Amino acid sequence: MDPPEINVSISVPSARTRPPLPLLSVPEHSLLPAPPVLTVVKVASVVGARPQFIKAAPVSREIRKHNHEVLIHTGQHYDEGMSDVFFRVLDIPAPDYNLEVGSAGHGRQTGEMLIKLEDVLLKETPDAVLVYGDTNSTLAGALAAAKLHIPVGHVEAGLRSFNRAMPEELNRVTTDHLSAILFCPTETAVDNLKREGIEKGVHLVGDVMYDVALASAQEAMKRGVVRRLGLEPKGYVLATVHRPGNVDEREPLASILKAFAECGETVVFPVHPRTRKMITKFGLEAHLPVTVRLVDPVDYLDFLGLLIEAKKVATDSGGVQKEAYFFGVPCVTLRDETEWIETVEDGWNAVVGTDTEDVVHAIRNFNPQGTKAKSFGDGHAAERIAKLLGGLA
């Protein structure tokens, strides 16, 4: 089904008409009528961390149908299981550039990205730079482009946790205020921007994570990951934990792991490398019973397969809260607030923090029923984004 008609008139600075593609050029003496001048928009997409590869997959595919994309990987995530595997399972083209920035403190990591991105953008002179979500790669992409007067498009604009202690909140707010085109996943996001005085260039397009989840669910189920890991459908809790506030200090991380140990369920926990490092540092693995299964991060299809068949999800991830909602899996959120407020308002997400007793209670007793009424779009957000970017020609 075609997505509803959308308004493609965007007014942004520096939009340029590109010359016709060489392939379509006609020899001077040709008797054929000259082809129409084809204007192709050149979009530089900046990705760098796991959730950004997933979000970029459907958008990149749509952009490349009619326009030109230069894909820039900052190198923020670099382990095979945190990076390359997503390009493979989601069929994302290999990046044109890998800046290999790697891990570092916020200033050094973002600063190095900025330096290297500026060089690439000066060389490529794209018509627009597209950034995703709220990581340091997002902020660096937006800032490098805005300083060069290249219009910035922000996918997942307008999200707010209203907790400035989260690095992501600073990245989101700054990126939104640097952006010319703001692609919002939800009405809440549009309202958040309005409250900050951002109304121009705002488009409610739906959630690209919904696009990719819908498109991947069947293939994910065919993988048989649940059986492969010796689990029973609806016989385990799927957990992910990686927020600095939850893992960088011993107390909250120990409290969460204690809850997993005491909840009375098998807990399958693909461990983010940040968290793995801290579990080792604090010596917490030795205390875990066999019911808590720490595994390496899994690829997107296996993760979706595990999520769809899970009894419940316990997470501090932004993306995973939404995926649980998409597939009707009750979510216990190990934070004090969430930017995905729709999932809470609809009764499918219990935001409980990290206290052992509260987490155990929620894993045992949180059993939402009923329909899911909130909208994350119709699975065609990426098409709308590509069409809007195409309108820059």
242 is catalytic: yes
Out of 171, 255, 317, 333, name the contact with ligand UDP by CB under 6 A: 317
**Of 111 and 167, which has the nearer Cβ to ligand UDP?**
167
**HEC profile for 55-83?**
HHHHHHHHHHHHCEEEEEECCCCCCHHHC
The residues in 227-246 that bind ligand UD1, with binding defined as CB under 6 A, are 242
Annotate each residue in 67-106 with x if it binds ligand UD1 (CB under 6 A) or - if it does not, as one string.
---------xxxx--x--------------------x---
**CA 214/CA 220 separation, integer angstroms:** 10
Interhelix angle for 136-147 vs 167-178, to 10°?
30
Q: Does 58 bind ligand UDP (CB under 6 A)?
A: no
**Of 273 and 353, which has the nearer Cβ to ligand UD1?**
273
Token duo for residue 122: 């000066």
Q: How many CB atoms are closer than 10 A to CB 282?
A: 15
**CA 342/CA 322 separation, integer angstroms:** 9
Q: Does 315 bind ligand UD1 (CB under 6 A)?
A: no
Out of ligand UD1, ligand UDP, none, what residue 61 binds, judged by CB under 5 to 8 A for its kind, is none
Residue with tokens 């900046």: 46
Q: Does 277 bind ligand UD1 (CB under 6 A)?
A: yes
The residues in 166-185 that bind ligand UD1, with binding defined as CB under 6 A, are 167-168
Residue with tokens 């959308």: 6
Helices (H), 149-207: 167-178, 187-195
Find the catalytic residue in 73, 77, 154, 242: 242
**Of 203 and 242, which has the nearer Cβ to ligand UDP?**
242
The window from 111-119, 150-158, 190-198, 314-322 that contacts ligand UDP (CB under 6 A) reads 314-322
Cα-based distances in Å from 364 to 101, 252, 292, 294, 343: 42, 20, 15, 20, 19
The closest of 179, 172, 168, 195 to 144, measured between CA atoms, is: 179
The window from 29-37, 49-57, 146-154, 224-232 that contacts ligand UD1 (CB under 6 A) reads 49-57
Number of residues that bind ligand UD1 (CB under 6 A): 19
**CA 115/CA 26 separation, integer angstroms:** 40
Minimum distance of ligand UDP from residue 156's CB (angstroms): 10
Q: How many CB atoms are closer than 10 A to CB 86?
A: 22
| H helix and E strand count, the chain | 16, 13
Q: Is 107 left (phi over 0), alpha (psi -120 to 50) or beta?
A: alpha
Amino acid at 386: A
The window from 205-213, 267-275, 357-365, 380-388 that contacts ligand UD1 (CB under 6 A) reads 267-275
Q: Does 297 bind ligand UDP (CB under 6 A)?
A: yes
Active site residues: 242
| Interface residue list for ligand UDP (CB under 6 A) | 50-51, 54, 240, 242, 270, 297-300, 303, 317-320, 323
| Interface residue list for ligand UD1 (CB under 6 A) | 49-51, 76-79, 82, 103, 134-136, 167-168, 242, 272-274, 277
